[in-house]
């Protein structure tokens, strides 16, 4: 019974969020079991372009370090905000969500050539948080029961938390920058006088990922509780 319940809960996670989160967990498990090493995963332009180790373009987004507080913190935020985006503003638009992944990953890879980052998964998580926060500007957040603020400040609060933990904020700034570029091109610029929609999801992605009918058994997370945990609960203003 417990297995069936867990399996059903797992299958209710929307496909892109399920695939990415699972890949991150399995990659970390493989490293912990010493089946692979981080040296086979990290972003290295020379190994990618001169030795054709193309997999590094993907694997550097999948490893968040050894199992510990930092890994669990990143996994919770990745799962939570990736899922809420897919179930919220990208509901029924899986191809557009995949395209955002590809666009964000490409930009981070290009920026990664200049900022000497070897793993970009945390920056990708911050990008997802940033896009969600800008699309839900009236949600009130509570961080660790200490800070109360509106959702658009969440990426900056997370950056401050990283700073307190002694981590480099370059990763957070990269995620915020890429998230802002996507949000501006997708949500802001098309609505400006003389603006146009620059980001267009390729037809092939729509043919592969978009389905005409919603699953009647689908059970989305309540977006009224965006944090979902003691350090990130929130509610809409006036709620």
Q: Which of 231, 224, 225, 233 is nearest to 73 (CA)?
A: 231
Range in 72-76, 141-145, 204-208 the model is least confident about: 141-145
pLDDT at 168 over 90: no
pLDDT of residue 2: 67
Containing structural domain, residue 35: 15-209
25 part of a folded domain: yes
Q: Stretch 132-141: mean pLDDT, rounded?
A: 92
Q: For the range 102-106, what are the long-range contacts, defined as Cβ-Cβ under 8 Å and sequence gap of 24 or more?
A: 103/182, 103/199, 104/178, 104/179, 104/182, 105/57, 105/61
Q: Stretch 79-92: mean pLDDT, rounded?
A: 93
Q: Are 86 and 97 in contact (CB under 8 A)?
A: yes
pLDDT averaged over every residue in the chain: 86
pLDDT at 214 over 60: no
Please tell me which residue, 238 or 194, carries the higher pLDDT value: 194
Q: From CA 235, how far away is CA 239, in angstroms rounded? A: 7
Q: What is the domain count for the chain?
A: 1
Q: From CA 15, how far away is CA 73, in angstroms rounded? A: 22
Predicted confidence band at 84 (pLDDT cuts at 50, 70, 90)?
very high
Predicted confidence band at 16 (pLDDT cuts at 50, 70, 90)?
very high
Predicted confidence band at 212 (pLDDT cuts at 50, 70, 90)?
low
pLDDT of residue 222: 53
Predicted confidence band at 11 (pLDDT cuts at 50, 70, 90)?
confident
Q: From CA 179, how far away is CA 8, in angstroms rounded? A: 32
189 part of a folded domain: yes
pLDDT at 199 over 60: yes
- How many CB atoms sit inside 10 A of residue 141's CB? 22
216 part of a folded domain: no
108 part of a folded domain: yes
28-67 burial, b at 16+ Cβ within 10 Å, e below that, comes to bebbeeeeeebeebbbeeeebeeeeeeebbebbbbbbeee
pLDDT of residue 148: 87
∠ Cα 53 22 227 (to 5°): 120
pLDDT of residue 213: 54
227 part of a folded domain: no
193 part of a folded domain: yes
231 part of a folded domain: no
Q: Find the CATH number of the domain harbouring 150.
A: 1.20.1540.10
Structure token digits, residue 56: 């590094």
pLDDT of residue 115: 83
**E-state strands within the chain:** 139-143, 147-150, 233-236
Please tell me which residue, 219 or 146, carries the higher pLDDT value: 146
Q: Are 137 and 150 in contact (CB under 8 A)?
A: yes
pLDDT of residue 93: 92
Q: Stretch 116-133: mean pLDDT, rounded?
A: 93
37 part of a folded domain: yes
Instruction: Provide, rounded to the nearest whole percent, the portion of the chain with pLDDT above 70.
Output: 87
Predicted confidence band at 106 (pLDDT cuts at 50, 70, 90)?
very high
């Amino acid at each position: 019974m417990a297995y069936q319940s867990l399996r059903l809960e797992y299958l209710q996670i929307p496909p892109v969020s399920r695939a990415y989160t699972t890949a991150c967990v399995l990659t970390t498990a493989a490293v912990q079991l010493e089946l692979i090493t981080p040296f086979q995963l990290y972003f290295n332009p020379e190994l990618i372009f001169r030795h054709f180790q193309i997999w590094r373009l993907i694997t550097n987004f999948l490893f968040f370090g050894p199992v510990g507080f930092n890994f669990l913190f990143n996994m919770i935020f990745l799962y939570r905000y990736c899922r809420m985006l897919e179930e919220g503003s990208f509901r029924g638009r899986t191809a557009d969500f995949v395209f955002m992944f590809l666009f964000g990953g490409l930009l981070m890879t290009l920026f990664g050539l200049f900022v000497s980052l070897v793993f970009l998964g945390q920056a990708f998580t911050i990008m997802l948080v940033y896009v969600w926060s800008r699309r839900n500007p009236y949600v009130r957040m509570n961080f660790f029961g200490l800070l109360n603020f509106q959702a658009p400040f969440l990426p900056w609060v997370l950056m401050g938390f990283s700073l307190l933990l002694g981590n480099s904020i370059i990763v957070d700034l990269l995620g915020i920058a890429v998230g802002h570029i996507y949000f501006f091109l997708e949500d802001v610029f098309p609505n400006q006088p003389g603006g146009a929609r620059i980001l267009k999801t390729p037809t092939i992605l729509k043919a592969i990922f978009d389905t005409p009918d919603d699953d009647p058994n689908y059970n989305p997370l309540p977006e009224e509780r965006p944090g979902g945990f003691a350090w990130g609960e929130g509610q809409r203003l006036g709620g």
